[in-house]
Amino acid sequence: MLALEGVSFAYARGAEELFGGLSHVFTPGVVTAVTGPSGRGKSTLLYVLGLMLTPSQGRVLLGGEAVSAAPDAVRARVRAHRIGFVFQDAALDPTRTVLDSVIEPALYAGWRLGDARARGSGLLEQMGVSARAGHRPGEISGGQAQRVAVCRALVTDPVVVLADEPTGNLDRDNAAGVLAALSAAAGGADQAAESADKGAGSGPDRGTSEGRTVVIATHDPFVLDHADEVLAL
């Protein structure tokens, strides 16, 4: 379970504090939309939850453990094993194939290449982009790129998926597809990966029976309509 406990954050000493001691428990299996006016720190909260920024006050708990205060190497390992990221612009490696981009977090998590490839291929199949597995990101559409980014976020079967404006650059149809994928990811039965898991021999099996925590930073009303819970900043 992911939780914030009295969290505040400032980019520099003496700068304006964000969140004002925010406490919140993110329920597994629930899609939470973080929203608010521009400058309130929607993306910043996501990076705090993703252990890339350290709160100036309070702490981030993951599975009851205060992970926000851990050393950098530990936080990196937590990101690789337990947290998936979806960035606004997909942020795929333009020089590598789609499949190589998808399996990247699994490599950092210490998976074997064959297992990672099997898992990544299964996810691409599930998301309907398996035909593009050998293409470069520049050869696929924005909607496809964002679905590939969702595959990358799910490849290590994380307990938390964080998405920063994942539909910001997409039309309605593609946005609906990505939201459906994220909702499915929160669904608990690891629907997105179910078929892929049959082919992936080893790799951490975290048992997502109670679902994943999915947090989406957004100001898009379409996303807010589809979220299970909204956290307004």
Binding site for another protein (CB under 8 A): 43-44, 47, 50, 52-53, 72-73, 76-77, 79-81, 83, 85, 87, 91, 93, 95-96, 100, 104-105, 107-110, 112-113, 152, 156
Give the shortest CB-104-to-another protein separation in angstroms.
6
* Cα–Cα distance, 59 to 37 (Å, whole number): 24
Distance (Å, whole) CA 137 – CA 97? 7
Instruction: Select 35 or 44, whichever has its Cβ closest to another protein.
Output: 44
Which amino acid appears at position 142 of this protein? G
Distance CA(98)–CA(35), nearest Å, equals: 30
Q: Which residue lies nearer to another protein by CB, 46 or 175?
A: 46
CA 26 to chain centre: 14
Compute the least distance from the CB of residue 156 to another protein, in Å. 8
Question: Least distance in Å: CB of 196 to another protein?
Answer: 18
- Min dist. Cβ of residue 138 to another protein (A): 13
| Half-sphere CA count of 21, side-chain side, radius 13 A | 0
Closer residue to another protein in complex, CB, 102/175: 102
Tell me whether residue 80 or residue 175 sits nearer to another protein (CB atom): 80
Which of 50, 62, 31 is CA-nearest to residue 184?
31
Give me the residue label for tokens 């790129």. Answer: 145
Cβ distance to another protein smaller for residue 48 or 129 = 48
Report the distance separating Cα 149 and Cα 6, nearest Å: 31
Unique residue bearing structure tokens 């009851």: 64
Shortest CB 4 distance to another protein, Å: 17
